[in-house]
Every structure is written in structure tokens, then in C-alpha cells.
Structure 1
Amino acid sequence: MTDAAYSIDAPAEDRAQAIRDALRDAIVDRRLVPGTKLSEAEVGTLFDASRTVVRSALQMLAFEGLVKTERNRGAFISNPTPEEARQVFASRRLIEPGTAVAAAERIKPTDIARFRKQLDEEAHFMNARGPQARRGEIKASGDFHLMLAEVAGNQILQRFMDELVARSSLVIALYGRTGISSCGHSEHTGILDALERGDAKRAAELMLRHIDHIETDLDYRMREGLALKDALDL
């Protein structure tokens, strides 16, 4: 390990946070799929960490709803039911149009430039090939929605969106059909164009349509993922 946060000399809290971040990235990037077991012993070995530190990291993920612990069985990546999947997107329909309206009222030219750069990065990953490019595209797609929450200027909302985007990735990992559900680049561009014009109503309408398109791609079929070690690229 080269990251200082993984160092044996780092505080236990920092090590737990670093492990949580690595596992969370693997979940959100769909390298670890719902139902994958997270053995404390295996995670500890991979990160050269004690079970106490690993357990703390898993508890953080459980609090976010990304991991479920089962008595006498251990921890597993959460496996959302179809009803839970519908609730995730119902929540996004309630929250994100309002986020777009708030962002339209606060967005600045520097924010627009930052969004354009992010969309260029998203397009780069879309045009590339291979699993690494696919993971980059998924992350860039989710980052667009998180950036909107940031521009909206509500820290509580940002935390909600962080959890909703992560849970959406779980749902997409489990039920996504073609990858369209990772977010449409052209739809992101349309939303940003409306924000740049200050057209809050149009931005909210496009966001709602966008979320509908994401959910339309779900088909409730399971898919296989990588082994824990391979998913973490350690």
C-alpha cells in the first residue's frame, strides 16, 4: 500500500475511513455487486488491518445502507429488492428536480465551466473501451448529480444525494440492463444548458425525464461481479 491512510502507523479512524472509501468506490463503480460477502478476515488481509478497524469500516457502509450485516453470517453488499429499487428512484424524483431549481438560482460561470469539464471527462470515458473506462464513465455520471447538489448549496441535501447516488449504483448493478441507466450524457448536457440559461423550470423537467429514463432501463435480473480482491485492484 502506498496511500498514507492505509499505513499501519495511521490512526485507526483514518484507516477505517480509507477502507470504507475503497469498498464504497468498488460498490459504486459496480466492481462489487449486491450480495457479495465482505469477510472481515479477507478485507483485513487485503488492507493489512485489524478486524476492529475493518468492522468500523463496514459499520460506516452499513449506516449508509450499502452493506447489511447478518447474525452469524457476516457482512454483505446490500441486495435491494425491486420495491427498494423503486423507492430509491421515487426519492430521486422528489429531490432532484428541486435540486436543479436551486442550482439554477445559484449557478455561476465558474460552475458552468467546471460542469463542462466534467462532461468532457464523461464523454472521454464513454468513447473509450474496457472495464476501467466503464468504471470511469459510471463515476463521472454520478458525479454530475452530486455536483448539482453541491451548487444548490444545501449540505443536508448533499448528504442525501451522496447516499441516493450510491444506492442507485447498487440498484443499477443488480437490475441495469444496457448501461443506459448509468446516465445519458446528452441528457446531462441538456440539463446544464437549461441551467446556464437560468431556466429552472426546464432544468427540473429534464431532470425528471432523465431519472425516468434511468429507471426504464432496469429489468430486475441478477448479474455476476468480481471477487473481492479483484474488485479492489489491490
Structure 2
Amino acid sequence: MLVLLPPSEGKTPPRARGPQLDLAALSAPGLTPMREKVLDALAQVSASPDAVGVLGVGPSLAGEVARNIGLRTAATAPATKVYTGVLYGAAGLDRLTATGRARAAESVRIVSGLWGLVAPDDHIPAYRLSMGTDLPGIGPLAGAWKGALGAELQQRPEGELVVDCRSATYLAVWRPPTTADWVAVRVLRQEADGTRSVVSHSAKHTRGLLTRHLLTRRGKAPHDASSLTRVAGELVGTDLLAVELGPPARGARVLSLVVT
């Protein structure tokens, strides 16, 4: 099983005494050359007067953008402690047992505009860069990462279940091969009149709950779309109202998690 997550916009800077960034120590070493290029381009852009505009953030985040300049010597911490947005708060990757951490290390990968792929225990600094950025010197990041990231993920087992919790921006980087059992996770709200609507912010929370359940429940991990649906169904009556598996659409089956 491969669980793909987006990075969180909210990040907690590691303590100053944390180890400095070591690109060679990150997982997926085949991505190191591209990481080097993106890191250098990001530092250069972040030092420019129009950095905030180029990176597509508001003036209130100017301090976070300025922090990009010194990422090579910045303190780092495990990704589970740096990514602290809504999805990660619900997933609780930093609060797993030894068994849960081992499952996460094997199954969870975070798709990042700066690092390409991040494993939960990879030591990274806090940074500000979205996959939707057209980075001077690199170009649109989704396109720039496609080749290297695809080659890396091609090494995963053939026919593996892919539980895809990415947003559209990060989905553009890599689509699983036709041999994979690819399931895209969607969150719907049940309205008072019986209709259902797609939700955005709370969707992150619900995808985080599913991720945590996959890593902490007893028993074997799901191996295909049907068993994933059964496992997700274990949350019905607590966090979910219903779970429904739809037909394939653009290569992926859609697993709808219905909330109230």
C-alpha cells in the first residue's frame, strides 16, 4: 500500500539546535539532483524584491519566504513534526507507536514542490513553496518534477494499492500506472436536504483520519480498492456517515467519504 499525501501549508520551524539539512540523507536519493536545482532556484528567488509575488503568497508570509534563503544551513526535524496543517493534525504521524511508525515509513509518501517526495522520518526544514509555482530557473514545478518523481515511484511494487489523498495541484505531478490499484479519496458532506456537496477544508481533516486509521488499526493493510473500502467503512458511525466506492474515472476509482 502506498498512501500519497500533499504537504501542509502550515509548517512548524524546527528548534534552532536541530541538525542542518543533509540532502544525501533524505529518502529517494535519485531525486537529489533535482532537489539541488530547486533548492538553489528557491533561495535565489526568495532573496529578490518580488519574491512574495513570484511564490504566490501574501505579504504576511514574507518572513517565511525570507527563511527560504538559508534552507541549506537551517535546522531540520522529521517531516512528521514540520508538517502541522489540518490533515497532519488528524493523521497524527508524530504520535504513532513503533508499529505505526514502521507502517508509515513503508507506506506514506508526501509529494512536495521542494523535495519531490518526502518520507515521514526525513529531516527537513520549514519552507514556503507550492507545487503550483512557476519557479524562475526551473519552470512550473509540477512539470519539472514529473520525470524524476515518476522514475522513483516506478520502483514501488507492481499492482500496489495507491491511496491518493493529494489535491489537484499535486496530482498533476504523477499518475500511477495502469497496473496499480489507484483509489482517489474524496470527501462529501451530507446536507440536511439529503444532497451531498464536495468539501475542501474539512476534507483535509477527514483524509487525515483515514490515513491514521490505515496506520493504527489491527490486521493486514488493505491490498485493493475493495478491501480499502471495507477498512474505511470501519470509521462509519464514528467519524464517517458512509463510505462509497465509485467506478473508475480517469484511471482512478473514487472512494467517497461522507461526513455530516
- Give the TM-score normalised by structure 2: 0.26
Pick 1 or 2: higher relative contact order, CA cutoff 8 A, min separation 6.
1
Q: Which structure has the highest strand share of the two? A: 2
- Give the TM-score normalised by structure 1: 0.28
